[in-house]
Amino acid sequence: MKMSFRWYGENNDPISLDYIRQIPGVEEVVWALHEKQAGALWTKEEIKEQIDVIESHGLKGTIVESVNIHEDIKLGLPSRDAYIETYKTCLKNLAANGVKVVCYNFMPIFDWTRTDMFHPLADGSTALFFDKEKIINADPQELVDMVEKESNGLTLPGWEPERLARIKELFQAYEGFDEERLRENFKYFMDAIIPTCEEYDIKMAIHPDDPPFPIFGLPRLVNNAENIRKLLATNPSPYNGLTFCTGSLGADPNNDLVSLLKEFNQRVHFMHVRNVRVAANGDFSEVSHRTQDGTVDITGVMQVLAEINFTGYIRPDHGRHIFGENATNVRPGYGLYDRALGVMYLLGSWDMATRQIDRNK
Ligand code: DNO
């Protein structure tokens, strides 16, 4: 298992690589060229420059999150072929620099969605929060305005201003779009890139839909066992793999994370581990990584990883904002402290589980 930590790049992340390096067990930095729009080319030189910075701090940069998919690919427009060619070149350029896994998503228009970025928790910290009722009644534009207001000038992944400027037009383009059509477009994309992935040994790891149910009428592809089965079946190559995000999938209480991981682990290349507390009305709050603090069985998930001797990448996902972190000094969900505590919890669970397995041998 390769422990990693997400980092937004120099002059873009308030957290330095020097700090990340001090978190026990972290070997890898999960990075991206965040200034690049979906569909843009990542050159070999730009990639190398970023990896050099990471390596100069004693860390590795062999996993990327995300190389975003242009909306025309998801929509299946004729222009998709040109974007797919560029995507393939990105993959080749990443592979040439030693990158092994690419995390991405296939969600229409929005990436992850929340209604509140600094929701107060009982312990005095704050965390990302999702109010289901509010979303059902909201106009997508209100959500965009909220995200802009609460992100304090730091661009949030998946909420880039360029993407948000096109909201109305994109909603029109997706009118009448259903799951089947989106899945067909996914298959078209996957079938086109898999030969490149296989040739250059670079794996794709799709991120689940967050939240794992349709919002604003937009279809979902990666949200439960049945849909994940269908998605993986579109192209059976192991290079068509998953990012297994416990927080995203766990926001639907019908998803049993331990059994999902048991079923799909052969195709899981990247683990995002965090906990959520789901309320009876469907609202959910992000919480600490600890199993008892939420409704996701985090230690159960770590036990499965230990049992299969997981060799892929893992990162603590979002954390609460604690120890003085707030809207003025942190990117929502991506503070330093709670994610660092998360690393220790995940490694502690892993160490105990693997030790037990060794003893029983
Ligand atoms: C949120 C992240 C997502 C994730 C993308 C992958 O914090 O987990 O933005 O990076 O969905 O493309």
Q: With bands split at pLDDT 50, 70 and 90, how would you rate the model's confidence at 280? A: very high
Nearest CA to ligand 1 atom 1: 112
Three-class DSSP category at 108: coil
Question: Ligand 1 centre and the CA of 100: distance in Å?
Answer: 18
pLDDT at residue 147 is higher than 90: no
Question: What's the pLDDT tens digit per position in 296-334?
Answer: 999 999 999 999 999 999 999 999 999 999 999 999 999
Q: Which residues are catalytic?
A: 207, 245, 272, 317-318, 334
Atom of ligand 1 nearest to the CA of 157: 9
Residue type (1 letter), 161: P
Whether 65 lines ligand 1, by a CB cut-off of 6 Å, is: yes
pLDDT at residue 168 is higher than 90: no
Domain with 149, as residue range(s), is 2-360
Whether 105 lines ligand 1, by a CB cut-off of 6 Å, is: yes
State the average pLDDT for the chain: 95
Atom of ligand 1 nearest to the CA of 66: 12
> What is the Cα–Cα distance from 348 to 356, expressed in whole angstroms?
12
Question: Ligand 1 centre and the CA of 359: distance in Å?
Answer: 37
Question: What's the pLDDT tens digit per position in 23-39?
Answer: 999 999 999 999 999 99
Q: Which of 244, 242, 237, 243 lies closest to 197 in space, CA to CA?
A: 237
User: pTM, whole model, 2 decimals?
Assistant: 0.96
Whether 246 lines ligand 1, by a CB cut-off of 6 Å, is: no
Three-class DSSP category at 26: coil
Question: Ligand 1 centre and the CA of 242: distance in Å?
Answer: 13
- In this structure, what CATH number is given to the domain that contains residue 268? 3.20.20.150
pLDDT at residue 159 is higher than 90: no
| Count of alpha carbons within 13 angstroms of residue 325, beta-carbon side | 23
Our count of domains for the chain comes to 1
Q: With bands split at pLDDT 50, 70 and 90, how would you rate the model's confidence at 152? A: confident
Best residue among 4, 34, 66 to mutate for probing ligand 1, ranked by most atoms within 8 Å of CB: 66
277 membership: H or E segment, kind and range:
strand 275-278
Give 136's contacts (C-beta < 8 A, 6+ positions apart). Answer: none
